[in-house]
Amino acid sequence: MSVSDQELIARVVARKDQHAFSQLVLRYQSQLRIWARRLCDGDTHLADDLAQETFIKAYAALGAFRAEAKFSTWLYRIAFNIAANRWRGKKVQWCELDDNEDVEAELCELKQFDAKRDVEAAMQHLSAAQQLAIRLCFEDGFSHDEAASIMGVPRGTLKTHVSRGKQKLQTLLASWSQVA
């Protein structure tokens, strides 16, 4: 039976239980590394550094975690803040999500490949905030409240970013759907 995040967090805070924290790291490291790669324009080494720094900061600040949001939301927010501080003033570049040469061609239908490529190309025409909001809500499955918390913006602002981003994508991809 799996131990809850809250119980693991309580053990870390009360007893500095490193084994409990390592269970949290194992539980969230893959998701966080994927998220970090997006923040680092696909640079896996930089993303690994960002993920490691995130877990170090999370361990140090775990006593301040108030559980008002999910633990994963809190981790993503820490990673976002670290990246924002590191690259303040630089435009965030997003990597291609499906830029994976290891996937055999016969496993993907040509239309799906083209569609994904077109969506990624269209995403590049959105503002960084719109891209982030759409990726958090639709790719990572966060609720509007959680995504707003990660981005550090009010819920209404997040919903505006999502709505405007979706409208722009719809316009940009309209010609593709007519061809398909």
Distance CA 116, CA 122 (A): 10
Residues in the chain: 180
- Predicted confidence at residue 107, as pLDDT, reads 36
Give 43's pLDDT tier (boundaries 50, 70, 90): confident
- Predicted confidence at residue 122, as pLDDT, reads 78
How far is the CA of 37 from the CAs of 45, 94, 127, in angstroms?
A: 9, 9, 18
- Rounded to two decimals, the pTM is 0.58
* Better-predicted residue by pLDDT, 98 or 160: 160
pLDDT tens sequence across 72-100: 889 988 888 888 777 654 444 444 444 44
Considering only CA atoms, which of 11, 51, 3 is closest in space to residue 28?
A: 51
Using the predicted structure, report yes or no on whether residue 128 has a pLDDT greater than 50.
yes
Q: At a CB cut-off of 8 Å and minimum separation 6, what does 103 contact?
A: none
Q: Judge contact between 134 and 166, C-beta under 8 A.
A: yes
With H, G, I as helix, E, B as strand and everything else as coil, classify residue 98. coil
Q: At residue 53, what is the residue type?
A: E
Residue 132, CB-side half-sphere exposure with 13 Å CA sphere:
25
pLDDT tens sequence across 133-153: 988 888 888 899 988 988 899
Q: What is the DSSP string of 4-31?
A: PHHHHHHHHHHH--HHHHHHHHHHHHHH
pLDDT tens sequence across 58-69: 999 998 888 888
